[in-house]
Structure 1
Amino acid sequence: MGNATGDGAARPRTGEILKEMAITAWYLRAVLIGLLLLFVLLTIGMYYWGAPVETANRTPSRLGETVYFCAITALTIGYGDVVPTSAFGRIDAACLGLIGVVFTGLIVAAAVRGVQEAAHRAERTG
């Protein structure tokens, strides 16, 4: 078993990795923009029909808190300080979580492809 750094293999540069990642993200731009637009629509729907409530004092959430809740849900963190109280809001929150998983997966896939392509290019050139 050879050490990857000691067997003479060329290492990809960070700039090349980021360039390849950006190229991949550019190819995925329609899907990524579609997911962002869907996120915005679901956030608006959550604000008007999801009935989000702060758990600390049980008051309706303001727009900023609703956007915060939707972002935290899409990132699959889910602190629980704001919760939807209607059936629509719960379905909306589940959809936001799925969108977040797909969006995150696409970004990670673009990063992995960037590393792979930069490594292949580094092997070919040096």
Structure 2
Amino acid sequence: MKASRIIRRRFFHELWRGLAIIWPVLSGLLVLMALIGLLVAKVEGWPLSDGLYFSFVTGLTVGYGDLVPKAGLSRVLAMSIGLCGIVLTGLVVAIAVEALRAALSSEDRG
């Protein structure tokens, strides 16, 4: 029981360390997604809040379908939001996997 608590503590330590290193990239992607979402809202005539909502629902690949872009430019922008979301998710998962690897390998050492 104590060993799992130590591994968990090491995992979260490594996770936060990794996120701190990659934070400029993650925040840049989040800002880019938000800006593109605002642009989609402007092109489609949606409220800005709907543009932000659409951006993050699309970026997280949830895609509820309640907001659907009709204009060609908006559709291209939606694809770029999706690609940014895939990169964002991949980076977070990579950091988590590396944190788990580091936590488990430190257990083997000590």
Q: Give the TM-score normalised by structure 2.
A: 0.88
Matching residue within 69, 72, 80 for 2:65: 80
**One of 46, 52, 71 as aligned partner of 1:67:** 52
* Residue 26, structure 1, aligned to residue 20, structure 2: yes
Per-residue deviation, residues 45-81 of structure 1 (Å, max 9, x unmatched): 11112x1xxxxxxxx5322222221111101111211
Q: Which runs of 5+ in 2 are unaligned?
A: none
The amino acid that maps onto 2:16 is A
Residue in structure 2 matched with residue 54 of structure 1 by the alignment? none
* Cα distance in 2 between the residues matched to 1:34 and 1:65: 21
User: Number of residue pairs matched?
Assistant: 107
2:10 is the alignment partner of 1:16: yes
Q: Percent identity?
A: 34
- Which runs of at least 4 in structure 1 moved beyond 3 Å after TM superposition? none
2:33 aligned to 28, 39, 51, which one?
39
2:19 partner letter: A
Structure 1, unpaired ranges of 5+: 1-9, 52-59
Counting strand residues as a fraction of each chain, which structure ranks higher?
1
CA contact (8 A) 2:61 2:85 kept: yes
Question: Is contact 1:61–1:82 with CA below 8 Å preserved after alignment?
Answer: no
Relative to the length of structure 1, the TM-score reads 0.77
Pairing 1:49-60 to 2, within 5 Å after superposition: 49=43, 51=44, 60=45
Task: Give the structure with the larger helix fraction.
Answer: 2
RMSD between aligned alpha carbons?
1.5
